[in-house]
């Protein structure tokens, strides 16, 4: 399998893991706050370690410290702009449940807006997985795992209010699927834009920006959401566990 094909496959698997979150709604209906906090913290820990242990050093090695850090902060700024322009929130989705007719319209709007926001946020994540796989397939796999882990609760965030509002498993699953589809679309765009101009310098700049993007997602979205769902120590335990598992996997792949 070519590296480009592998990159597209990993991105698709990571993006479509949102559907696993929608399946949780049908199986256990309402995952407990401890589960949500630990899983979100775990995903944040994986992303932070990969960013600082792999992506940023790889960028600095090629570009030098000045340009490498510049690419990193550029990624932070880009994700900040996306977040300001298209905010999305998990607020209220954990309490969603069928059988509340007065809230059906509000829940449906909440689910659709969360699906839109998550879809747009997933777009640059697809580009991140694609670029990481081009640099190193093992690194791309690590990024894909990290993104897949945090896409599962995102799929839950989309499916729970839509299922509560409509009672339709099909609609809940379909909107969750569509929000995750943005990730392979982002990878496809990255392939079209990057491949004709791909050099070691361009790839290093992209990796630095991807590191910034993933750190922003972890600090601005995942860890705060983890603390909201559970007690503070659940979030930090999840983050430490994510870092430890990712460190061990990177070490074994060396």
Q: Distance between CA atoms of 120 and 110, rounded to whole angstroms? A: 16
Q: Distance between CA atoms of 239 and 245, rounded to whole angstroms? A: 10
pLDDT tens-place string over residues 33-53: 777 677 778 778 877 888 898
Residue position matching structure tokens 């559970």: 230
List the chain residues with pLDDT less than 50.
93-100, 102-103
Q: What is the pLDDT of residue 170?
A: 83
Residues 72 and 208: beta-carbon distance below 8 Å: yes
Q: What is the pLDDT of residue 103?
A: 47
pLDDT tens-place string over residues 48-76: 888 898 889 989 999 999 999 999 999 99
Q: What is the pLDDT of residue 142?
A: 78
Q: What is the pLDDT of residue 96?
A: 45
Contacts of 179 (CB under 8 A, 6+ apart): 18, 114, 115, 116, 118, 119, 122, 154, 155, 158
Mean pLDDT for all residues in the chain: 76
Give pTM, 2 decimals: 0.64
């Amino acid at each position: 399998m070519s590296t480009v094909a592998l990159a597209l496959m990993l991105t698709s698997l990571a993006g479509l893991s949102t559907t696993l979150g929608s399946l949780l709604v049908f199986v256990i209906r309402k995952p407990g706050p401890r589960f949500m906090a630990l899983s979100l913290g775990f995903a944040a820990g994986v992303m932070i370690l990969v960013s600082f242990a792999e992506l940023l050093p790889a960028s600095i090695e090629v570009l030098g410290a000045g340009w490498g850090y510049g690419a990193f902060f550029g990624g932070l700024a880009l994700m900040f702009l996306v977040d300001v322009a298209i905010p999305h929130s998990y607020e209220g989705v954990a309490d969603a449940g069928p059988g509340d007719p007065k809230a059906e319209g509000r829940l449906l709007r909440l689910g659709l807006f969360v699906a839109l926001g998550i879809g747009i946020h997933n777009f640059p994540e697809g580009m991140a997985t694609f670029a990481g796989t081009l640099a190193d397939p093992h690194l791309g796999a690590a990024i894909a795992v990290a993104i897949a882990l945090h896409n599962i609760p995102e799929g839950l965030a989309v499916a729970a209010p839509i299922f509560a509002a409509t009672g339709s498993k099909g609609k809940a699953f379909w909107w969750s699927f569509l929000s995750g589809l943005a990730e392979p679309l982002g990878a496809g765009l990255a392939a079209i834009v990057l491949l004709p101009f791909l050099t070691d310098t361009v790839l290093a700049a992209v990796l630095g920006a991807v590191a910034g993007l993933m750190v922003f997602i972890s600090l601005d979205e995942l860890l705060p959401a983890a603390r909201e769902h559970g007690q503070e120590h659940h979030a930090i335990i999840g983050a430490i566990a994510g870092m430890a598992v990712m460190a061990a996997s990177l070490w074994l792949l060396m």
